[in-house]
Structure 1
Amino acid sequence: MSGLPISRRRLLALAALASAGVVGCTTNDPATIRLASGEDGGFYFAFARLLATAAARNTDDLRIEPVETAGSQQNLRLVADGAVDTALALADSASDFGGRVLALGRVYENYLQLAVRADGPITQVTDLRGRRVNLGAEGSGAAVTGERLLRTAGVDPADVAVEHRPLREAAQALTDGAIDALLWAGGVPTAALTVPDPMRLLDLGALAAPMREEYGPVYDRVAIPADAYPGSPAVHTIGVANLLLATADLPDDTAAAIVDLLVHHADALVPAEAAGAQFLDGRFLIGTGTIPLHPGAAAAYRRWHG
């Protein structure tokens, strides 16, 4: 993928945070940790803000500053290059950055959501041939997962008019008929996806097993309940784990402090609109797949588990 576009607002935010540094001006100031999140309206952004609030309320020596981004791919580049200290990313995207990033934990499950107009003719992925499809914003994890999904269904991405609009813009484009479908990887429900009216989600459950066979065990078959979106039927789709990642030089005590927030304040880290999404289950926090745990995080989990 070519260089990732960053909006002026995001660029200014990154520049301001970079100039601030990881720690404050004096040794008495709390450590300020930059967290690459996602698009406003998505769960990454919501989760990052909740984590920042939990840090402000429950610690005296840690502050978290969310950085709005396009999503997983941009986040991984930022954290791997040291432009931010921590980042959220889909597990399938993170697997390409093994050795360059470390994990603080598996925080929740993203659900692939392929939305079409309810009154349209598209009923399965193969119907996307020749259609205008938004496969996530440029720099998002959905941009990677979307091409894998198409290939698994037997659709050559070259046979689809692929676009990469931000989520809110794509949702409006679906409503206006400017595109025929959009793919989003996020929580259920995602607020920005309530814009297309009427909207229908395609059932992707049958593709979960072949996705696992082709690309590895980062994909699960999960259920989206009926009425998760107004009037929507229950469908199955593909779940992808989300990882909270960090640079290798993040201090061990800072990594441990973030893990303590995940473990002891899990209830405060679930966006209010979440439904049917697996969040911060203690049994799965250490299930980070091919991405090893940060030493400070590993030590914190050992203390927690005894």
Structure 2
Amino acid sequence: MALSRRSFLVGALAVAGCSYSSPTGRVRIAAGEPGGFYVEFARLLAGEMRAVEPEWRVEVVATLGSVMNLSRVAAGEAELGLTLADALAAARSGTEPFTAPIDLTALGRVYENYMQLVVRADSPIRTLADLTGQHVSLGASGSGAALFGGRLIDTADVRVIIDHHPLADAVAALRDTRVQALLWSGGLPTPALSELDNAIGIRLLDLTSYIPALRDRYGPVYDQVTIPGGTYQAPTPVTTVGVPNLLIPSPSLSSPTIAATVRVLVERATNLVPQQALGTQYLDVRSLIDTAPAPLHPAAAAMYRELRG
């Protein structure tokens, strides 16, 4: 006989040693900036959560990105949050920009962010070193791009004039040549960058050579990834740095809500890919449990085991 949703969750939570109660109440998802894929993914997730759990009041909260999301989740100001793996590692170890360790778990690895260092197509700048002495936007303060950008500049030992702009402002500043480059951490293609590309033409810089040093200094949170040719107008692929995105729960979030959220991630994965996204970067059920540098929440681990049979 088929299990009901309630019976299914009871069985999963029994494995985790948790008592069952209906996953009801308010669920705030700390997402990211308008125009970025954090917000788009969070909206899709919220919609699927409401579809399977009508009792949930799911809200998507716009933020400036990973560092802000981690702080809000840790403070109980959001029940779920999206974060880059390097920011999560910094939070758990209490290293800059955090002042003390934060004990956080994860529900799943949901997709890959691509670090996109963008210049105008008509710019003479071809490498990161060419930006010496130039104005560069390294993402909004409180974003994962800002954290990574600082690390990249330090690792490369390049002296630039650092600005911190949200995406829309950074795009306008590059268009108007108030900055000579912008760093964006996001999915492919990012609509705001596609629009800029159509308006003035853009070029992405190859960051391959800095990956070994970044991994040596900060650990294996940085991957080598390729932005396919044609993602924007340029036909040539570009190699850059990829960082996994993780969905994290508030320490106070109930185990039934965590288990039910994991079930949404697994069973509705195909509905959680933004329409404009390149599919290869998004939710892969096989990699959901790879949540390093944070452990899976026990209720999430129990649900994954149950779903795998």
Identity between Structure 1 and Structure 2 (%): 49
Say if 1:29 and 1:299 are closer, same or farther in 2 by CA, change over 3 A. closer
Among 230, 234, 252, the residue aligned to 2:233: 230
How far the C-alpha of 1:206 sits from its partner, in A, is: 2.3
Among 34, 37, 54, the residue aligned to 1:40: 34
State yes or no: 1:260 paired with 2:263: yes
State yes or no: 1:250 paired with 2:244: no
Q: Is the 8 A contact 1:187 1:274 kept in 2?
A: yes
State yes or no: 1:181 paired with 2:181: yes
How far the C-alpha of 1:226 sits from its partner, in A, is: 0.8
Q: Which amino acid aligns with 2:160?
A: V
Q: Is the 8 A contact 2:23 2:260 kept in 1?
A: no
For CA contacts below 8 A with separation 6 or more, give which structure has more relative contact order: 2
Q: Is the 8 A contact 1:199 1:232 kept in 2?
A: no
Q: Distance in 2 between matches of 1:173 and 1:71?
A: 20
Q: Which residue of 1 aligns with 2:60?
A: 66
Q: Which residue of 1 aligns with 2:128?
A: 125
Gap runs ≥5 in structure 2: 1-20, 93-101
Q: Is the 8 A contact 1:200 1:232 kept in 2?
A: no
Q: SS of the residue aligned with 2:47?
A: helix
Q: SS of the residue aligned with 1:248?
A: coil
The CA RMSD measured in Å over matched residues stands at: 1.6
Q: Is the 8 A contact 1:104 1:297 kept in 2?
A: yes
State the TM-score, normalizing by the size of structure 1: 0.87
Deviations 1:83-126 (A, max 9, x none): 11110010000112224322111100000000001111111111
Q: Which amino acid aligns with 1:177?
A: T
How far the C-alpha of 1:176 sits from its partner, in A, is: 0.9
Q: SS of the residue aligned with 1:296?
A: helix
Number of aligned residue pairs: 277
State the TM-score, normalizing by the size of structure 2: 0.86
Q: Distance in 1 between matches of 2:267 and 2:56?
A: 15
Following TM superposition, the consecutive aligned residue runs of length 4 or more in structure 1 with deviations greater than 4 angstroms are none
How far the C-alpha of 1:45 sits from its partner, in A, is: 0.4
Say if 1:143 and 1:280 are closer, same or farther in 2 by CA, change over 3 A. same
Q: Distance in 2 between matches of 1:113 and 1:288?
A: 23
State yes or no: 1:304 paired with 2:299: no
Q: Distance in 2 between matches of 1:105 and 1:77?
A: 19
Say if 1:128 and 1:253 are closer, same or farther in 2 by CA, change over 3 A. same
State yes or no: 1:191 paired with 2:191: yes
Among 139, 146, 150, the residue aligned to 1:147: 150
Gap runs ≥5 in structure 1: 1-26
